[in-house]
């Protein structure tokens, strides 16, 4: 059983027991989130495709942790004595899919 969900401008494949890294929200580890924009629901022989979303379907998740990704941007021009180093830290929310309601 899996579902294709939309969060922000991205789409994710959610399976029960699996983990998804989604955009940042103001939540704490242990909180539950309900993702209701289900685009596709598949359970064995039953497949529901939304127009644009599947009515009554939702994915229930639990927040596991709040990872951060540090990316460094470096610009360098040789022989010009010109260097620039810039950093950015993007926060995310990692959730565990507890159940998919079709």
Domain boundaries defined on the chain: 2-101
Residue 102 has pLDDT above 90, yes or no: no
Arithmetic mean of pLDDT, 77-101: 96
Q: Read off the pLDDT of residues 45-83 as tens digits, 9 standing for 90 and up.
A: 999 999 999 999 999 999 999 999 999 999 999 999 999
Arithmetic mean of pLDDT, 15-26: 96
| Average pLDDT of the residues of the chain | 95
- In order, the DSSP letters of 34-99 are EE--EEEEEETTEEEE-SSS-TT-EEEEEEEE--EEEEEEEEEETTTTEEEEEEEEEEEEEEEEEE
* Band of residue 7 on the pLDDT scale cut at 50, 70, 90: very high
- Here the tokens at position 24 are 């940042």
């Amino acid at each position: 059983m899996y579902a294709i969900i939309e969060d922000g401008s991205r789409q994710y494949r959610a399976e029960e027991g699996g983990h998804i890294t989604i955009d940042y929200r103001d939540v704490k580890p242990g909180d539950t989130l309900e993702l209701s924009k289900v685009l596709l629901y598949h359970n064995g022989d039953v497949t529901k495709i939304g127009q644009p979303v599947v009515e009554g379907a939702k994915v229930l998740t639990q927040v596991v942790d709040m990872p951060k990704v540090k990316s460094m941007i470096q610009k360098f021009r040789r022989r010009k004595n010109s260097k620039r180093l810039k950093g950015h830290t993007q926060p995310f929310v990692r959730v565990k899919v507890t159940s998919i309601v079709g």
